[in-house]
Structure 1
Amino acid sequence: MNIATIGTGVIVESFLQAIEQLEGASCHAVYSRKEATAKKLADQFDVQTTYTDLTAMLEDPDIEAVYIASPNRLHSEHATAALKNGKHVICEKPFTSNVKELEALIALAKEKQLLLFEAITTVHMPNYHLIKKHLHQLGRIKLVQCNYSQYSSKYNQLLAGETPNVFNPEFSGGALMDINIYNVHFIMNLFGSPEQVRYQANRHPNGIDTSGVLTFTYNDFIATSVGSKDTSSMNFALIQGEKGFIHVKNGANGCEEVLLHVDNRVISLNAQTNPNRLFYEAEAFQHIIETEDHEQCYGWLEESLSVMKVLEAARKDAGIVFPADPF
């Protein structure tokens, strides 16, 4: 798997560190609008080729797949361009700004017979698979609680009157799309789409959500999903059933350790040996690309589309609209 990257943030560094650990995977090129930032990242990972012209990079025949970690608003544009140039696409969460954009991407990938992935760590974690394996031991599920709160380094800039991308409606930012999305994937990959969603958010005067509580109503249980970029908290996930509960330490995005509480016992479950949480998704994407497993890819795309529909419904409920939205 020969990849190129779009974006030069910390998440790209983590992804490239994961790529370095995969046999048969390498980074061929780095793209940034500025040569200096492209060269800095390329030098850090011994990448030989840099681009400041995106079209030129996407026409490079040595690139098999493109990893996209640009601002949220640009995901759809960059992924569309990559697919039209015959590249597989690994796109950071959130996949797109809205349902319409994602449906168009999926249709294009299928038309081109290319592979398209949302880079969401949670669902590829070995410990997440352990949760699925042991979930039946809890009996009937009654409550699910997730909290992923992390005081953003950009929040002080927002308070000072600046508008960083992550808190800018123009760039499809906000706590729901940036941080709470991990909780949404965690819940929905286990339990499917809810019957109803409600989103209560703390909002900045520019309209963006800086934190909020998302409530899922299922047929016979309730789930709550807290995401915050304006406060910090103990991060966790709890799945509560009539016969026991599962505690996921430090939140849904990393699933660092799973504690199974059943029959008056606490059983620690941990199958994760790699501290880089992006390793497992990178490993999964490489396998799908090398085996050309379109069926598995399309299954994941359906899950991502279901999540995007919930995110969009939640934003509508809270009155959060992006310029990219068709509504």
Structure 2
Amino acid sequence: MESPAQTSRQEARLAAEVNEFVVAFYERTIGRADFSPSGIAEELGAPRQRAEQAVGVLRELRLVKPAEGSADRFVAVSPEAAQMELLVPLEREILDSRHRLEGFKGQLSSFVTAFEKQSRTRAETVVITEDREEIELRLLEAAQGCTTEVLVMQPCVARETSELRLARPLVLEAVRRGAHGRILYPHTARGDSDTRAHLGELLPAGGQVRTTNEVRDRFLVFDRKTAFIPAGEGDAIAVVYDGAVAAFLAGLHARVWESAFDFDSGAAGYAGTMGDLKATLLDLLASGAKDEVIARRVGMSERTLRRHVATIMQDLSASSRFQAGVLAARTGLVDTALSGAA
């Protein structure tokens, strides 16, 4: 029995081989008691090999068949008769497949109630795992069941973690199905080409995007029922099936969302958020935070951070990072900028 892939290849080959010559060859055979490929080839002024190829195509389409009592002569068959021989078995096979499909649906429906009941009374409130396949499956389950809201807080695409990379198309699909999507990025995401490309799909689908001066955490919340949060410093993810935790994260997201800046895909660069970002950098410099900590909180690489810090030091005529922060605090730059951004 031929596999579906083999059948598909055969159909594609036949479609390519049914050309004007094959049709002309078939026309010459109609109404004759029988014919030979070489005789038709001579009439058409075509090579015998080409005629034999045409006969091969016509035989597969059941439009010619061997003449009775002769191995090298053939008889033309009407398209109606060929259709009965070729298509009726296929239609019967399709009908059988439909009956089998309905049978499977009926059998599987018996398990739907049991699955939904178990989902509602899930024994495992929190699952911590590093297994990529398990994380992907749990993301898929949560995203496919999402009907009202999906909330995301994350760094830019260039710095996103593996679970966020897996979740990106699932969040987009949930938004396209009608779920209300709110995604928070740091301001630095505005300068990341990969992030802007992703938002070029998300925004037209109905998603809302804002950026903020700091993204201290990363998480996803689906329908305020299921949350995905980091589990420590490694790659482990905690999947939390607890409405109270999901609601707490949704509240945190809402508080950050209120003071965040709307993202406009048509605006270039940082689009008016550079002042807010600079104020945050000054505040963190004044606190004496290390480059690694500052870079993580504002969502940029340490290399990019050092470029921003160098510009700030030059603007303030400061000889060190700490002095820049102190000067900014003394002159009120930090407080003024932060209050203005709020």
Greater share of helix: 2
Q: Of the two, which has the highest radius of gyration?
A: 2
Q: Highest relative contact order (Cα 8 Å, sep 6+), 1 or 2?
A: 1
Whether the TM-score (by the shorter chain) exceeds 0.5 is no
Question: How does the TM-score come out when normalised to structure 1?
Answer: 0.29
